[in-house]
C-alpha cells in the first residue's frame, strides 16, 4: 500500500469517527489504585550448554557459590565451578492493585550475562522486591522462551527472535499485598488520563446528576474528589456505578503527531489552516549506463573489437501547480490537496512544518 493510500485510509477513519460516549473508568485513574513494579535477581539452571561463560561473567559463579552455601554445600577455598548450564538473570513483574497473598502473577526473565539461550531452563526460587526493599512475591518455574539459537560446525549459526529472554506465566506467588487506601477515608480522588477542563466539567456534571449535588468537587482541570460511602458493601456498589457512568469527553487539542522513525503522520480532527499557498515539485536526476560492443569496419586493415560504455543523463522536474488553502480549511481538504500533488510522508511533514512556521497552521506539531 502506498503512502498516499495509507494517508487516505487514516483520514477516512478519523473523519468517519464521531464523538461517542466513554465510560469514566476508561478516561480516569483512581488515586492509590495502581500497579506496582517488582524486580529480582536469580539463577536459571538446566541449560544445554548455553549458559554464562563464568570466566567472563564472574557474578554467575559468585551467585552459584552463595546459593550452594545456603543449601549447606561448602566448596573448597579457591574453587570456581566452570558450568555452562547456569545463567544469571534479572526478573521483573507487575503487582496489580488488590493482589492478595497466594495469588499468582506472571514473571519476565532476561539474561544479564553472556548466555546464548535460556531455552529449557528452570528458574530457582527468587524473591521479587519493590522499591521499598520489601519482598512482595516469590518466583520459580520453567521458562517459556520464544527465541531459538542454533550453532553448527564452521561457525554457521541461526537465531530466531531473542532466545536470551523468557517468561513464566503465573510463575510468582504473591507474599504481601500493597495498601491502596481505597478502604480508608470518605473521599476518593480521580485523575483524568488527559487533563482537560471541558472533560472535567462534564465528569462532575454526570456524577452529580447520578448521585446528587456536592458529591464531586473538582480540584483542577485534571482531578476531582468524590465523596464515597464508608461502609464496605455500599462503597463497592457506589464505585461500580461510578466507573460505568458515560459522558462525551471534550475535543482534544488541535495536534499533529509525527513519528520521525517510521514517517507516520497523524493529523487531529480539529486541525485547520489559515489562508496559504503551497507549491510542491520534485527534481529527478536519472543516470543510466549501457554497455555496447564497438567493432572495426569490415575492410579495415587495423582495429580491434572493444567494449564501451554509453552514459545517458536525464533530468526531469514535476510541474505541479500551486494550490491555495482558504481560511478555515478542514482536515480532509488539507490531505486531499497534499495527495493531489503526489507528496510522500516526508513531503507532507515538510509542508506542515512550513505552514506552522508561516503562522498558517492552527495546531501543535509533536515529533515522537
- d(CA 231, CA 186) in angstroms, rounded, equals 10
pLDDT at 309: 54
Work out the pLDDT band at 285, boundaries 50, 70, 90.
very low
Q: Is the pTM of this model over 0.85?
A: no
Rg value, the chain, Cα: 33
- Structural domains of the chain, with CATH: 36-174 (no CATH), 183-247 (3.30.70), 255-282+319-367 (no CATH), 286-315 (no CATH)
The percentage of the chain sitting over the pLDDT mark of 90, rounded to a whole number, equals 32
Per-residue model confidence as pLDDT tens digits over 201-221: 999 999 999 998 989 999 988
158 vs 347, which has greater pLDDT?
347
Per-residue model confidence as pLDDT tens digits over 56-108: 778 888 888 888 888 888 878 777 777 888 999 999 999 999 999 999 999 99
Q: Determine which helix (DSSP H) or strand (DSSP E) holds 62, and give its type and residue range.
A: helix 58-70
Question: To the nearest whole number, what is the mean pLDDT of the chain?
Answer: 78
- d(CA 186, CA 323) in angstroms, rounded, equals 61
SS (H, E, C) 188-223: EEEEECCCCHHHHHHHHHHHHHHHCCCCEEECCCCE
Is it the case that residue 289 has pLDDT exceeding 50?
no
Strand order in the sheet with 28-30: 28-30, 187-192, 223-227, 216-218
- d(CA 182, CA 280) in angstroms, rounded, equals 59
Per-residue model confidence as pLDDT tens digits over 95-121: 999 999 999 999 999 999 888 888 889
Amino acid at each position: 500500500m502506498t503512502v498516499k493510500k495509507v494517508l487516505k485510509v487514516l483520514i477516512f477513519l478519523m473523519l468517519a469517527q464521531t464523538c461517542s460516549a466513554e465510560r469514566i473508568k476508561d478516561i480516569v485513574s483512581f488515586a492509590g489504585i495502581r500497579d506496582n513494579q517488582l524486580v529480582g535477581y536469580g539463577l536459571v539452571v538446566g541449560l544445554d550448554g548455553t549458559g554464562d561463560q563464568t570466566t567472563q561473567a564472574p557474578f554467575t559463579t559468585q551467585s552459584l557459590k552463595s546459593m550452594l552455601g545456603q543449601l549447606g554445600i561448602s566448596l573448597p577455598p579457591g574453587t570456581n565451578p566452570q558450568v555452562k548450564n547456569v545463567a544469571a538473570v534479572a526478573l521483573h513483574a507487575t503487582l496489580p492493585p488488590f493482589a492478595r497473598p497466594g495469588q499468582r502473577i506472571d514473571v519476565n526473565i532476561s539474561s544479564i550475562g553472556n548466555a546464548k539461550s535460556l531455552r529449557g531452563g528452570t528458574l530457582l526460587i527468587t524473591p521479587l522486591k519493590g522499591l521499598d526493599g520489601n519482598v512482595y512475591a516469590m518466583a520459580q518455574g520453567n521458562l517459556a522462551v520464544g527465541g531459538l539459537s542454533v550453532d553448527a560446525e564452521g561457525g554457521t549459526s541461526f537465531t530466531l527472535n531473542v532466545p536470551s529472554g523468557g517468561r513464566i506465566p503465573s510463575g510468582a506467588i504473591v507474599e504481601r499485598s500493597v495498601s491502596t487506601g481505597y478502604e480508608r477515608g470518605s473521599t476518593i480522588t480521580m485523575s483524568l488520563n488527559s487533563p482537560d477542563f471541558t472533560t472535567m466539567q462534564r465528569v462532575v456534571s454526570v456524577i452529580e446528576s447520578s448521585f446528587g449535588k456536592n458529591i464531586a468537587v473538582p480540584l483542577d482541570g485534571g482531578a476531582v474528589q468524590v465523596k464515597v460511602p464508608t461502609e464496605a458493601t455500599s462503597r463497592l456498589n457506589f464505585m461500580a456505578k461510578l466507573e460505568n457512568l458515560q459522558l462525551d469527553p471534550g475535543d482534544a487539542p488541535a495536534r499533529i503527531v509525527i513519528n520521525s522513525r517510521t514517517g507516520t503522520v497523524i493529523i487531529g480532527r480539529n486541525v485547520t489552516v489559515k489562508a496559504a499557498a503551497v507549491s510542491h515539485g520534485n527534481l529527478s536526476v536519472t543516470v543510466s549506463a549501457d554497455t555496447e560492443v564497438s567493432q572495426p569496419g569490415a575492410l579495415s586493415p587495423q582495429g580491434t573489437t572493444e567494449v564501451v560504455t554509453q552514459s545517458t543523463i536525464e533530468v526531469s522536474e514535476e510541474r505541479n501547480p500551486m494550490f491555495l488553502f482558504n481560511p478555515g480549511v478542514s482536515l480532509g481538504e488539507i490531505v486531499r490537496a497534499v495527495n493531489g500533488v503526489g507528496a510522500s510522508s516526508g513531503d507532507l511533514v515538510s509542508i506542515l512544518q512550513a505552514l506552522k512556521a508561516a503562522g498558517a497552521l492552527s495546531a501543535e506539531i509533536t515529533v515522537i
